[in-house]
Structure 1
Amino acid sequence: MKNIWSILVLLAVLTTSCAVIRQGEVGVKSRFGKLSPNVSDAGLVGFNPFTSRVIKVPIRTVNQEVKLNLPSKEGLTIESEISILYSIEKQQVPFILEDVGENYERVLILNVFRSAAADVTAQYMAKDMHSGMRSVIENNIKDRMHESLRDRGFVVERVLMKSIELPTELSRAIERKLKAEQEAQQMEYVLDREKQEAERRRIEAEGTRDAQKILAEGLVREIIELRSIEAFRELANSPNTKIIITDGKTPYLINSPEK
């Protein structure tokens, strides 16, 4: 019985003196509050539970979503939801824990983000945050954050403005403007189509006029007489009985009734 209790105590000590570091994490030992400069990779890490502990820090990409009211250039307040994608350089983890602490996200990253976001959006109109300028604003915020955080071991990968809620009156004004632009484009399309149709009709009329002009100029007296002679020849070769009245120039044919 005594041996069983000894085994159980030994197992309990072994269990509490080991930490499991998962993939995408690193561990740093803290002994009597002093951080080790060494970083432990994924796996099983042993430590003395009476004097030490292992602080686990993710080094994979972290997605932090923030709801924030942003200022615009014209002084409006824009409600937004923004995602910050960042990661931590592995070798910088001990220094981050020593300088900032385990709450580095709340203490450092979010505060830097709020400052950078406000500085950037204050340079743009509210409508720009709801248009093609959004990606420019996102990149500017990311660059501002990266400039402030890169020396501390943080890598800001992306800043994504997931949702932007403009003031009601501004949203309506933008919708009216977009609708007017669409109507103007539709009218321009209709006018272009009408112009093309008018041009087609003009070209067709000119072609008909030129053809009539050429035909009229070609019907001179000699050609008419030639056509009359050809008509007489065809009538003469015809086996049918007919009556021809002519002045010698143009024939007038009267068909005799068939028997």
Structure 2
Amino acid sequence: MPADLNDYFNKKNGNSNNDERKPNFNFKKPNVPNLSGGLGKFSGIIYALIAIIVILVVAKPFVVINSGEVGIKSTAGKFDPNPLQPGFHFFIPFIQEVRIVDTKVRQINYTSTEGRNEANFRGSGIETKDTISVLDSRGLPVSMDITVQYRLNPQNAPQTIAAWGFSWENKIIDPVVRNVVRNVTGKYTAEELPERRNDIAAAIDMGIRSDIDKQPNQPVELASVQLREIILPPKVKEQIERVQIAKQEAERTKYEVERANQEALKKA
């Protein structure tokens, strides 16, 4: 075969082999709409909204106060004298703080047995303490079961918390109740306590109200004081029972004598 024909066929075969080895990657790009131009105008607003949402979630610069509660706002550790009323309130995070306190009627049961099964869970408003141990006028031990109902004065709540702290109940109510009960009970003998129960209950109520009202800023509103039970020593209780039985026997004997005299007069 002539040289020029060999060159012709070699070139032709070489081009066809190269075309088979090299794949064609010339794909067309999808036609995606360009949104950058449209969002660019609002990107600042979007970033600002995201920043505000993050701040609200992390800092939580608001508080919701329910009925029966007040809020105490402090700025740099100083309490605001005006309590926050129920509703929605904003404050400055990291500079201000709002603490919520309960202003509903609460109850303390000073008891030896009764009320021990009542729930003392958080928010129940009922607390159980040990019965009040006192001494009568002769030094005999007596126990008094008392129930006290009270509430935090909502108008003066910031001043109360500032003066007494959030454990104000243990510093105001408990010492006053125990002190008054001991002073009143110490004026009587153990035997007189059951007979003078009503007088003693009235004196305890009046004494507790008087001492609480003397506290500055009227921190507490007293609802009621109830004397539930007087627990006497066993020997005193037995003695009282014997005296009562003797009185009943004497009354029964007196009644029988009077009846017998009346019958005798009728026969005469």
Shorter-chain TM-score bucket reads 0.5 to 0.7
Q: What is the deviation of 1:73?
A: 0.6
Offset of 1:179 from its aligned partner? 1.4
Answer with 1 or 2: which has the greater Rg. Answer: 1
Q: Which has the higher helix share?
A: 1
String of CA shifts for 1:159-179, please: whole Å, max 9, x gaps.
222232211111110111111
Judged with a 3 Å threshold, the aligned counterparts in structure 2 of structure 1 residues 53 and 118 are, in CA distance, closer, same or farther, namely same
Shift of 1:42: 2.5
Q: Is the counterpart of residue 60 in structure 1 residue 104 in structure 2?
A: yes
- Alpha-carbon RMSD: 2.6
Select 1:40's aligned residue among 70, 84, 88.
84
Give the TM-score normalised by structure 2: 0.64
Deviations 1:14-73 (A, max 9, x none): 8x3333333322222122221111122233333334233323333333211232211111
Instruction: Please point out which of 160, 176, 183 is paired with 2:249.
Output: 183
What is the aligned partner in structure 2 of residue 236 from structure 1? none
Contact 1:70 1:77 in 2 (8 A): yes
CA contact (8 A) 1:142 1:157 kept: no
**C-alpha distance in 2, partners of 1:82/1:65?**
6
CA deviation string 1:198-238 (max 9, x = no partner): 33333xxxxxxxxxxxxxxxxxxxxxxxxxxxxxxxxxxxx
User: Once the two structures are aligned, what percentage of the paired residues are identical?
Assistant: 28
Bigger CA drift: 167-176 or 141-150? 141-150
Shift of 1:195: 3.0
Q: Is the 8 A contact 1:121 1:137 kept in 2?
A: yes
Equivalent residue number for residue 174 of structure 1: 240
The alignment status of 1:9 with 2:73, answered yes or no, reads no
Give the one of 179, 185, 191 matched to 1:115: 179
Q: Given the alignment, which residue of 123, 145, 151 partners 2:208?
A: 145
Report the counterpart of residue 134 of structure 2 in structure 1.
Answer: 70
Distance 1:194 1:42, change over 3 A: farther
Name the counterpart of 1:19.
63
Structure 2 residue matching 1:126: 3-state secondary structure: coil
Structure 1 range deviating more: 151-160 or 64-73: 151-160
The 8 Å contact of residues 142 and 156 in structure 1, kept in 2 or not, is answered as no
Distance 1:200 1:18 in 2: 92
Distance in 2 between the 1:26 and 1:108 partners? 19
Residue of structure 2 in register with 1:81 after alignment: 145
CA positional deviation for 1:7: 7.8
One-letter code of the match for 2:205?
K
TM-aligned CA distance change 1:195 to 1:48, over 3 Å: farther
What's the secondary structure of 2:175's corresponding residue? helix
Residues 51-109 of structure 1: CA deviation (Å, up to 9, x unaligned): 33323333333211232211111111112322222233332212211221111111122
Amino acid at match of 1:27: G
Higher mean alpha-carbon deviation, 52-61 vs 112-121, is at 52-61
For residues 22 and 126 of structure 1, do their structure 2 counterparts lie closer, same or farther at Cα, with a shift above 3 Å needed? farther
Structure 2's unaligned 5+ residue stretches are 1-45, 111-130
What SS does structure 2 have at the residue aligned with 1:60? Answer: coil
Gap regions ≥5 residues in structure 1? 203-259
Deviation at 1:13, TM superposition (A): 4.7
Q: How many residues matched?
A: 199
Return the TM-score normalized by structure 1: 0.66
Q: How far apart, in 2, do the equivalents of 1:56 and 1:188 lie?
A: 67
